[in-house]
């Protein structure tokens, strides 16, 4: 039950523009009513920082089943790379029945909730039976995934993938049949049916996700641009160098140039990864300002390369974050990796702070905090990517909140001034004391009520997969 009004008082509250000390968030009917100084009678949460819930803008929930199972070299396979990982991922994808998909998704979403995530953008491409035949309801697996997110308590943007082929002139391979729609009109009809099915749940939204320029032909990208309306569009772009060469051979241009030429590059679009951008692509994203979904944990797991984050931020291109392949689900870590990868590239410190002036007024003391650039990645930029009014404790926004434990050793002696830096550089999922979505408690005292049942169901699936 959602009480009509709660007044949550905290040692610190991260507001849209400042960190407030001893403040209260008033929640009414599931939304933030106001943020004000604490007053007697408010519900005192004690030594916590209250923040907007974190936004995981790019997830493939089922890939939680791969964790720990791909971190080895197979005998005779010294060439292990992204593509051989993808083959293992496909085999796992094809071993999951609908109950398994739901159980594994639930596990991933539970871990996100416990790590302070309140909204997930689920890039969903597992649609059909392993032989490619649609289920009685062609959206059956998407419904399972949305159901898993909602049962855990997360807000979910289901980014329904459109997938057609293995690559230029090559039909889908056997292990890709679960992802494939026969033509773009059928695919778009299925997206519409999915959105209509969930229209009654304000915490569910549906976006369009042409998988990549490798997996759909140009005509599909153009059809998506015509059909998108006010829906968000997500695509994998420029993750691997081989994709760039392939796109140049087929279209005579880079993936970003192609996406732009198809009318798909704009503020409602998210390019996932974007680890390999040429000068022309930089100019296009600087003009069109899509969101870039960075998944630095996954990008380094897969050997994708470095995101040129400093160059993007200097051009006022927003960066969101995703847990993507789920080898690790920790949005705090994803935040710092964006900066740390830039430090390793530049062999300097505090690299992203150089783009501070592109986003914030000059601070009076001249101190340019890197965290001022990192915190929006996990909050407001993620919300922009998913087209949702979340990510900030602003009046009228859904009351999606996270309470972070200031007594946790990681955060000991934090101050209003150092809080964002402490969160971005030193916090972890274990600092999360509580979360709320639309004012309803999801994680309470560090616990989720469905934790044991979720772990048991997940272990059963994994025992079977490991034995198979």
Q: Which is nearer to Zn ion, 323 or 414 (CB)?
A: 323
| Active-site position among 58, 273, 356, 381 | 273
Name which of 272 and 285 has its Cβ closer to Zn ion.
Answer: 272
- 102 or 324: whose CB is closer to Zn ion? 324
The CB-of-191 to Zn ion minimum distance in angstroms stands at 18
Segment interacting with Zn ion (CB under 5 A) among 32-40, 138-146, 322-330, 443-451: 322-330
* Closer CB to Zn ion, 304 or 339, in the complex: 304
Q: Which stretch binds Zn ion (CB under 5 A): 105-113, 178-186, 317-325, 346-354?
A: 317-325
Q: Is 324 a known active-site residue?
A: yes
Phi–psi pair at 383, nearest 5 degrees: -65, -40
Q: Closest CB to Zn ion among 42 and 324?
A: 324
> Nearest approach, Cβ of 293 to Zn ion (angstroms)?
8
Q: Of all residues in this chain, which one has the CB nearest to Zn ion in the complex?
A: 324
Which stretch, 174-182, 200-208, 323-331, 335-343, contacts Zn ion (CB under 5 A)? 323-331
Measured CA distances, 409 to 4, 14, 324, 396, 412 (Å): 35, 20, 28, 34, 5
Of the listed pieces 26-34, 318-326, 442-450, 455-463, which binds Zn ion according to CB under 5 A? 318-326
2 Cβ neighbours under 8 A, 6+ residues apart = 29, 30, 438, 439, 440
Q: How far is the CB of 295 from Zn ion (least distance, A)?
A: 7
Residues numbered 324 to 363 that lie near Zn ion (CB under 5 A) are: 324
Q: Give catalytic status of residue 127 as yes or no.
A: no
Residue number, 12 or 123, with CB nearest to Zn ion: 123
Helices 451-467, 98-114: axis angle to 10 degrees equals 130
CB of 279 vs Zn ion, minimal distance in Å: 25
Q: Which span (143-151, 210-218, 319-327, 394-402) binds Zn ion, by CB under 5 A? A: 319-327
* Number of residues lying near Zn ion (CB under 5 A): 1
CA distances from 213 to 94, 300, 401 (A): 23, 22, 36
Q: Which of 260, 324, 372, 422 is catalytic?
A: 324
Query: Contact at 8 Å (CB) between 381 and 291?
Result: yes
User: For residues 118-147, which are near Zn ion according to CB under 5 A?
Assistant: none
User: What is the smallest separation between the CB atom of 445 and Zn ion, expressed in angstroms?
Assistant: 33
For the bound state, the minimum distance from the C-beta of residue 391 to Zn ion, rounded and expressed in Å, comes to 21
What is the three-state SS of the chain? Answer: CCCCEEEEEEEEEECCCCEEEEEEEEEECCEEEEEEECCCCCEECCCEEEEECEEEEEECHHHHHHCCCCCCCCCCCCCCCHHHHHHHHHHHHHHCCHHHHHHHHHHHHHHHHHCCEEEEEEEECCCCCCCCCCCCCCCHHHHHHHHHHHHHCCEEEEEEEECCEEECCEECCHHHHHHCCCCHHHHHHHHHHHHHHCCCCCCEEEEEEECECCCCCHHHHHHHHHHCCCCCEEEEECCCHHHHHHHHHHHCCCHHHHHHHCCCCCCCEEEEECCCCCHHHHHHHHHHCCEEEECHHHHHHHCCCCCCHHHHHHCCCCEEECCECCCCCCHHHHHHHHHHHHHHHHCCCCCHHHHHHHCCCCCCCCCCCCHHHHHHHHCHHHHHHHCCCCCCCCCCCECCEEEEECCCHHHCCCCCCCHHHHHHHHCCHHHEEEEEECCEEEEECCECCCHHHHHHHHHHHHHHHHHC
> Which of 190/236 has CB closer to Zn ion?
236
Nearer to Zn ion, 187 or 274 (CB): 274
- Integer-rounded Cα Rg, in Å, for the chain is 22
At its nearest, how many Å lie between Zn ion and the CB of residue 322? 7
CB of 167 to Zn ion, least distance (A): 17
Q: Which is nearer to Zn ion, 52 or 297 (CB)?
A: 297
Q: How far is the CB of 60 from Zn ion (least distance, A)?
A: 6
Residues that bind Zn ion (CB under 5 A): 324
Looking at the annotation, which residues are catalytic? 273, 324
């Amino acid at each position: 039950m959602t009480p009509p009004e709660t007044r949550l008082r905290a040692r610190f509250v991260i507001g849209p523009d400042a960190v407030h000390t001893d403040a209260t968030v008033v929640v009414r009917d599931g939304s933030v009513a106001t943020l004000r100084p604490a007053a007697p009678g408010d519900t005192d949460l004690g030594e916590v920082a209250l923040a907007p819930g974190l936004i995981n803008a790019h997830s493939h929930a089922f890939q939680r089943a791969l964790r720990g199972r791909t971190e080895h070299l197979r005998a005779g396979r010294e060439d292990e790379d992204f593509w051989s990982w993808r083959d293992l991922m496909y085999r796992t994808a094809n071993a999951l029945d609908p109950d398994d998909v739901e159980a594994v998704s639930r596990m991933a979403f539970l871990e996100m909730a416990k790590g302070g995530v309140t909204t997930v953008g689920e890039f969903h491409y597992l649609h059909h039976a392993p032989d490619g035949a649609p289920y009685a309801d062609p959206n059956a697996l998407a419904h399972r995934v949305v159901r898993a997110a909602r049962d855990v308590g997360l807000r979910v943007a289901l980014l329904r993938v459109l997938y057609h082929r293995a690559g230029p002139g090559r039909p889908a391979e056997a292990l890709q049949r679960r992802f494939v729609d026969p033509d773009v009109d059928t695919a778009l009809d299925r997206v519409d049916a999915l959105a209509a099915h969930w229209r009654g749940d304000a915490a569910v939204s549906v976006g369009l996700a042409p998988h990549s320029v490798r997996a759909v032909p140009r005509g599909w990208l153009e059809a998506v641009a015509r059909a998108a309306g006010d829906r968000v569009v997500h695509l994998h772009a420029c993750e691997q160098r081989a994709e760039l060469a392939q796109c140049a051979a087929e279209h005579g241009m880079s993936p970003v140039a192609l996406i732009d030429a198809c009318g798909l590059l704009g503020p409602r679009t998210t390019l996932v990864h974007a680890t390999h951008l040429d000068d022309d692509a930089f100019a296009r994203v600087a003009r069109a300002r899509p969101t870039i979904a960075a998944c630095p944990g996954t990008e380094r797991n897969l050997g994708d390369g470095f995101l040129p984050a400093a160059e993007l931020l200097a051009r006022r291109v927003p960066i969101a974050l995703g847990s993507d392949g789920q080898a690790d689900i920790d949005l705090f870590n994803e935040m710092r990796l964006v900066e740390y990868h830039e430090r390793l590239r530049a062999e300097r410190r505090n690299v992203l702070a150089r783009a501070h002036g592109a986003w914030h007024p000059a601070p009076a003391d001249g101190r340019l905090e890197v965290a001022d650039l990192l915190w929006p990645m996990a909050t407001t930029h993620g919300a922009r990517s998913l087209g949702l009014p979340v990510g900030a404790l602003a009046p009228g926004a859904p009351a999606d909140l996270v309470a972070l434990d200031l007594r946790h050793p990681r955060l000991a002696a934090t101050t209003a001034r150092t809080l964002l830096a402490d969160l971005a550089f030193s916090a972890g999922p274990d600092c999360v004391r509580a979360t709320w979505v639309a004012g309803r408690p999801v994680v309470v005292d560090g616990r989720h009520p469905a934790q044991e049942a979720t772990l048991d169901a997940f272990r059963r699936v994994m025992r079977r997969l490991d034995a198979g």
